[in-house]
């Protein structure tokens, strides 16, 4: 076995995404990034709707800006190709907190509780389609 077979970040020709997969991955990633960027801007700018929504979730308005900055940092890690997998992990953790909040409040399952999961599916699905490293880690074993 060669050293390249032991390195999951070394993409083999079989695990390299095709042009169509890369394009689909970029589109799916773009949708998720656009949604999260909108959310970051709302938080950092302290838009009234973001403040009211966050207060309804049981948070103090004082935490909205720091949450936006944390989310922006995670998103930045995700959009940089070299750190995209780490950014996806960080965003998944961030979104997991949102799931927990909605569960705690007893919000509706498919519209509130699972909406962060839908975003995470877009993040990871887009990353899987466009990044050979992720495909090598979670793809079929030979």
pLDDT tens figures, 18-56: 899 999 999 999 999 999 999 999 999 999 999 999 999
Round the CA-based radius of gyration of the chain to a whole number and report it.
17
pLDDT tier, 2 (very low <50, low <70, confident <90, very high otherwise): very low
Tokens of 34: 């656009």
Question: What CA–CA distance (Å, rounded) separates 28 from 78?
Answer: 13
pLDDT tier, 16 (very low <50, low <70, confident <90, very high otherwise): confident
pLDDT tier, 12 (very low <50, low <70, confident <90, very high otherwise): low
Residue 115 lies in a domain: yes
Average the pLDDT over 47-66 and give the result.
95
Q: What percent of the chain clears pLDDT 90, i.e. is strictly above it?
A: 81
Q: What percent of the chain clears pLDDT 70, i.e. is strictly above it?
A: 88
Residue of higher predicted confidence among 67 and 11: 67
Average the pLDDT over 59-74 and give the result.
97
Residue 13 lies in a domain: no
Residue 78 lies in a domain: yes
Q: Within a 13 Å sphere around the CA of 39, how many CA atoms are in the beta-carbon half?
A: 23
Q: What is the pLDDT of residue 140?
A: 73
Write the DSSP symbol of residue 110: I
Residue 58 lies in a domain: yes
Q: Inter-axis angle of helices 19-44 and 115-130, to 10 degrees?
A: 140
Q: What's this model's pTM, rounded to 2 decimal places?
A: 0.84
Q: Can you give the residue range of the structural domain that contains 104? A: 18-138
Residue 4 lies in a domain: no
pLDDT, mean over the chain: 90
Residue 95 lies in a domain: yes
Residue 43 lies in a domain: yes
Instruction: For residue 97, count other CB atoms closer than 10 A to its CB.
Output: 11
Instruction: For residue 136, count other CB atoms closer than 10 A to its CB.
Output: 18
Question: What CA–CA distance (Å, rounded) separates 23 from 142?
Answer: 26
Residue 9 lies in a domain: no
Write the DSSP symbol of residue 13: T
Domain count across the chain: 1
Q: What is the pLDDT of residue 43?
A: 97
């Amino acid at each position: 076995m060669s050293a390249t077979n032991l390195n999951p970040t070394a993409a083999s020709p079989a695990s390299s995404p095709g042009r169509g997969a890369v394009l689909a991955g970029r589109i799916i990633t773009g949708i998720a990034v656009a949604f999260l960027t909108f959310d970051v801007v709302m938080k950092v700018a302290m838009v009234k709707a973001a403040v009211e929504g966050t207060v309804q979730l049981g948070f103090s308005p004082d935490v909205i800006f720091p949450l936006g900055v944390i989310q922006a940092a995670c998103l930045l890690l995700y959009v940089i190709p070299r750190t995209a997998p780490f950014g996806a992990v960080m965003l998944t953790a961030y979104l997991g907190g949102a799931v927990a909040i909605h569960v705690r409040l007893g919000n509706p399952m498919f519209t509130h509780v699972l909406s962060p999961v839908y975003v995470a599916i877009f993040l990871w699905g887009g990353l899987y389609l466009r990044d050979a490293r992720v495909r090598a880690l979670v793809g079929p074993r030979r």
